Amino acid sequence: VITIRDVAREAGVSIATVSRALNGSTRVNDGTLQRVREAAAKLDYWPNGAARSLTSSRTHTLGILLPDLFGEFFSEVIRGIDQTARDETFQLLISSSHADTDTMLASARTMSGRIDGLIAMAPDKGSVEAIARIARQFPVVLISPRNPVPGCSSVSIANVDGAAAMTAHLLDLGHRRIAMVRGPRGNVDADERLRGYREALRRAGRGPRAARGYQGAFTEASGYRAAEEILRRRSRPSAVFAANDNMAIGILSALRDRGVEVPGEMAVTGFDDLAIAEYLSPSLTTVHVDAYGLGSRAVSLWMTATRSRGRRRSRHEVLPATLVLRRSCGGLRAGAKKAGGTNGRGGNGDGGNGDGGNGDGATLTARATARKSRAIARSQGLR
Amino acid sequence: VITIRDVAREAGVSIATVSRALNGSTRVNDGTLQRVREAAAKLDYWPNGAARSLTSSRTHTLGILLPDLFGEFFSEVIRGIDQTARDETFQLLISSSHADTDTMLASARTMSGRIDGLIAMAPDKGSVEAIARIARQFPVVLISPRNPVPGCSSVSIANVDGAAAMTAHLLDLGHRRIAMVRGPRGNVDADERLRGYREALRRAGRGPRAARGYQGAFTEASGYRAAEEILRRRSRPSAVFAANDNMAIGILSALRDRGVEVPGEMAVTGFDDLAIAEYLSPSLTTVHVDAYGLGSRAVSLWMTATRSRGRRRSRHEVLPATLVLRRSCGGLRAGAKKAGGTNGRGGNGDGGNGDGGNGDGATLTARATARKSRAIARSQGLR
DNA sequence: TTGTAAGCGTTATCAA
DNA sequence: TTGATAACGCTTACAA
């Protein structure tokens, strides 16, 4: 392995000069700069990163702590982190799939001395304490939970608002029984989305009678199972709100297998707005979440927090969650795409919901509130 | 920041003893071991990783070089890498989104001294030279291209075989005009899949007349556009083979929008077998690729290669690509799921393909070769 | 502008 | 079983 000494010898200078020359820094003679560069190129010198960070106590690396990088959503978050870090020429030391907080702590420990700071995504409660401990070692920015650790900045999604808006929209469409397929227990995002759903129902004066929750796990398979359970009930809901898109996909699949028309007999909505959502059949009404932005903003927050260490206090950003209205919930003007057919009433054999509000899409859209209309406009601007 | 010196002072021993005690290594008195541990715990000592790797010249870290982590497929590859690395208690220094080989090289350079080796995924040609240069600095394992860099082990997918098997299957189903929507130019996977398709046609005695390629970019949107282009042709193919699932999803969506029945009027197949493939409508016939295994095997290969450095020569693994037959290509026994309807002939207004072979699914399955049957069995065992 | 030398926080090699 | 002490490869005062 070639070290700085070899380069110094080759160029006929001291190692200090090599260091200065190669780091583009201050006063170095043009001639020696040339010689050093040539020597380094000739020997194919690759500076040792560990040694550099040991002396300079800067690593130019960000640690990333993730629960489990599964599927499209996480992959987008990481992309956001990666791209933004790359703009600052930072590298990423990633550790994921943390079953418990102990392994998370252990990972952070071994990162010590190799990172300048950390971005942590800890979607379950109880990891707060561990993160607080990590934050004593280096600056940490959190993704997801709202503001739990003192001194840490954070980015999160407007889960409650998004879920509430979706629920309100379904109510506007005339749905009176709206089931929710929840995310995994203890997951902060899942909890917040459930809360938004409940709050919207309460605000509309519809209590526990209209609500009905089913347990899911953020996977297609769990959505499929939940749909089967829903169909076994005597009184079916006219709408199902899944806490994420993956589960909504499973639900759509189950309803198709059972011959239940969507949105005719049952409306289905999701959360996340994955890339495939608009290509599903029917295209999925969902809540758009800027997964890329989640990662990107986290890194930006870290950078500003670090540059102004001590001066500024922690910041907490909440990324908006906007409704994206597509065909799976009905209510879009008929004929926009593939008119007729799926809009029909269908042989709704089971318990029809009292007021018969769930009919033609165009009519229902007219009833939509101004807020919803704005959401539609926004969503159309988005894509 | 607490260093080993602080712990030594607190425990009343030398730093050498602290190092030995904490590394669980050799002869340390039980009493001192206790005292050292207590001191470390009391002070919350986190060893400096950079210093450790400088002296020991082991980093316990694997560098990962990726082109662009986009979508489910890459995310699965990374999961495979991550989990397997975690089993060996290795960390991951990740750098992705490399536009060109220069930035790739630059990333690798800054990793020097911070990693023990590298897993590189370079799906475009021309990066071979850069990787060879990297491989002179530390052991490298390649994902994807077959065996291009001397001395590097590699894992790849049986792209050619998979694409050929899919094409042969479509031929068996009676299709005479099979279009292929290609992946991005210069992408090795895309090229190999195209080659498999062509080889299968040639082997079946069907030359350029049956083949027809459309340019895609591995995205849903590009698949959508390709389908539109296909539908504009006077003589439509009876089957479309997309070089990956994302494009197949776009194709399905376009055909649905245009009212073209799948598989009745047109069969659609993909490549990758993403998690959503079986939840699409119709469920997608595709080639299963073990993305997780790709990452996992790469790490395992790296480990064995490193443990037996010099002794053994480089190894090249090729992961099988197996057909997964679902509903989007027809040919599955009718009634397995949601019988009738989609299996009908449909109003195929355009150029019917001469021999009228594209009829009822059940009949066509009977014609399937033994090899295909085995594939079905395998696929059912898989999920 | 350049060179000398003192660290950075560990591990590893010797003696003791 | 322990303690000095010399690396590890680099950056950075401080001198020259």
How does A125-163 read in b/e, with b if 16+ C-beta sit within 10 Å? eebbebbeebbebbbbbbbbbbebbeebbbbbbbbbbbb
Task: Tell me how far apart the alpha carbons of residues A315 and A301 are, in angstroms, rounded to a whole number.
Answer: 8
Mean pLDDT of chain B: 84
Q: Which residue does chain A place closest to B105, by CA atoms?
A: A46
What pLDDT band is residue A335 in, cutting at 50, 70 and 90? very low
Q: Taking 80 as the threshold, does the pLDDT of residue A353 lie above it?
A: no
| Reported pTM | 0.83
Chain D, protein-covered positions (CB within 7 A): 1-5, 7-13
pLDDT, tens digit (0-9, with 9 covering 90-100), for A133-158: 999 999 999 997 665 788 889 999 99
Q: Taking 60 as the threshold, does the pLDDT of residue B326 lie above it?
A: yes
Tell whether B112 lies on the interface with A, counting CB pairs under 8 A: yes
Task: Tell me how far apart the alpha carbons of residues B133 and B149 are, in angstroms, rounded to a whole number.
Answer: 10
Mean pLDDT of chain A: 84
pLDDT, tens digit (0-9, with 9 covering 90-100), for A44-84: 999 999 999 999 999 999 999 988 767 788 889 999 999 99
Q: Kindly report the number of other CB atoms within 10 A of residue A197's CB atom.
A: 25
**A253 touches A220 (CB < 8 A):** yes
Q: Which of B46, B107, B137 lies nearest to residue A109, judging by beta carbons?
A: B46
Residues 5-64 of A with CB within 7 A of strand D: 5, 15-16, 19-20, 22-23, 25, 45, 47-48, 51-52, 54-56
pLDDT, tens digit (0-9, with 9 covering 90-100), for B210-259: 678 999 999 999 999 999 999 999 889 999 999 999 999 999 999 999 99
How does A308-332 read in b/e, with b if 16+ C-beta sit within 10 Å? eeeeeebeeeebebbbbbbbbbbbb
Sort residue A346 into left (φ over 0), alpha (ψ -120 to 50) or beta.
left
- Both tokens of residue B355? 């021999």
Q: Which of A61, A62, A110 to mutate to test the interface with B (most CBs of B within 10 A)?
A: A110
**Residue B349 to residues A40, B210, B227, B234, B340: CA-CA distances in angstroms?**
69, 20, 17, 11, 21
Asked whether residue B83's C-beta has any atom of DNA/RNA strand D within 7 A, the reply is no
What pLDDT band is residue A361 in, cutting at 50, 70 and 90? very low
Average pLDDT over residues B111-134: 89
Q: Taking 80 as the threshold, does the pLDDT of residue B377 lie above it?
A: no
Q: Taking 70 as the threshold, does the pLDDT of residue A362 lie above it?
A: no
Å between CA of A312 and C1' of D14: 35
